[in-house]
């Protein structure tokens, strides 16, 4: 087990993203099965759990509240506001009143008195970041949250937010095939003392090596089916990168998923990551990444083996890109 600093907390470097238990990856997991997974994660030493008001439109927070009641002191809890479900539709709303109301509802669903890390899930382009962060600062003052986070924002936005109130963490997609944080955000986090949390560190399952045909293997409604990288023609091209990756993992005595996480652990020693899974077997497999000790040459080999310049398709479609603030390669600096 390796640990990382997250503001005032020390947590497992590999946490658990809870989204796919309730949201975006097909049908929600049976609650008894999800509860077993969450409790097994705690027993394995995973003590950083990530959820959001958006996930299942509150269902994921409610799941954690029920499943982990009585275990609250065993983990650091992160959730998110600013993007929720309203009348069955996803809505981005960073207005202070909405943020505060979302937090109050989340505390009830999570069955806790305080959320350790509360992210603004998306920047609301209609609301200055200073106003949204001001509302989060009020929640800190009120004792309802302990730290402020931001998700999928640019380095410029991070600096503006940090000037209002210290930001504990910034969360964005980061893996061998998604490197946008390298443009500016990682440097800004280091400069400001902000923890960086990588979501989708397994490239939404691609780097696990078992997703061969998304159109056949994924359930209807799975968010990946709307992502350009998972479109048939692009995915066939992307699969060509996996044989060498699998071979290197086997050579090092690990699985592809373990190698992907070990690359993050070795190349960015200050970084946290929150892979998600519905499977206890995959949870335990992911934690085996701690055993892979990669030298600098292997890190460099992986860096060049799978890189966005080799990947066919963007990570999001254009409608989603229009909603996020983070930097993009070849489109903005």
Angstrom CA distances, 171 to 30, 120, 124, 152, 282, stand at 27, 10, 16, 6, 22
Q: Contacts by 162-168 with C-beta closer than 8 Å and gap 24+?
A: 162/192, 162/194, 163/130, 164/129, 164/130, 164/133, 164/134, 164/137, 165/133, 165/134, 165/136, 165/137, 165/140, 167/133, 167/192, 167/194, 168/6, 168/7, 168/117, 168/194, 168/195
The strand pairing partners of 196, in sequence order, are 170
Is 55 one of the catalytic residues? yes
d(CA 197, CA 273): 5
Q: Using the 8-state DSSP alphabet, how is residue 255 labeled?
A: -
Q: How many CB atoms lie within 10 A of CB 295?
A: 9
The two three-digit tokens of residue 50, written as one number: 């990530």
**Residue 115 DSSP symbol:** E
Closest alpha carbon to 180 in 21, 39, 332, 53? 332
CA–CA distance, 275 with 311 (Å, rounded to integer): 21
Active-site residue, selected from the candidate residues 55, 118, 119, 174: 55
Cβ atoms 6, 266 nearer than 8 A = no
Calpha distance 177→188 (Å, rounded): 21
Enclosing H/E stretch for 284: helix 280-287
Q: Which residues are catalytic?
A: 55
């Amino acid at each position: 087990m390796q640990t990382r600093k997250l503001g005032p907390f020390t947590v497992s470097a590999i946490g658990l993203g809870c989204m796919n238990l309730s949201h975006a990856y097909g049908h929600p997991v049976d609650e008894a099965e999800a509860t077993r997974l969450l409790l097994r994660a705690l027993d394995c030493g995973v003590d950083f759990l990530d959820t959001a008001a958006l996930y299942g439109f509150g269902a994921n927070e409610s799941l954690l509240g029920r499943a982990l009641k009585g275990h609250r002191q065993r983990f650091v809890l992160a959730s998110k506001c600013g993007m929720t479900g309203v009348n069955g539709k996803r809505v981005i709303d960073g207005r202070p009143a909405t943020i505060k109301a979302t937090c109050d509802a989340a505390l009830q669903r999570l069955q806790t008195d305080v959320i350790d890390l509360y992210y603004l899930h998306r920047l609301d382009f209609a609301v200055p970041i200073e106003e949204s962060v001001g509302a989060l600062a009020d929640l800190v003052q009120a004792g309802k949250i302990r730290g402020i986070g931001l998700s999928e924002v640019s380095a410029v936005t991070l600096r503006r937010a940090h000037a209002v109130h210290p930001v504990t963490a910034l969360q964005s997609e980061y893996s061998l095939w998604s490197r946008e944080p390298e443009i500016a955000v990682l440097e800004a986090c280091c400069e400001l003392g902000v923890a960086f949390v990588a979501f989708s560190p397994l490239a939404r399952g691609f780097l696990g090596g078992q997703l061969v045909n998304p159109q056949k293997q994924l359930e209807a409604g799975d968010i990946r089916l709307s992502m350009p990288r998972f479109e048939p023609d692009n995915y066939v091209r992307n699969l060509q990168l996996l044989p060498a990756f699998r071979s290197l993992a086997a050579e090092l005595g690990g699985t592809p998923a373990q190698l992907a996480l070990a690359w993050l652990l070795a190349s960015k020693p200050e970084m946290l990551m929150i892979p998600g899974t519905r499977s206890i077997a995959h949870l335990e497999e992911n934690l085996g990444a701690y055993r892979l000790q990669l030298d600098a040459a292997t890190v460099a080999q992986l860096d060049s083996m799978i890189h966005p310049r080799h990947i066919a398709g963007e990570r999001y479609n254009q409608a989603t890109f229009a909603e996020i603030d983070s930097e993009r390669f070849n489109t903005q600096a």
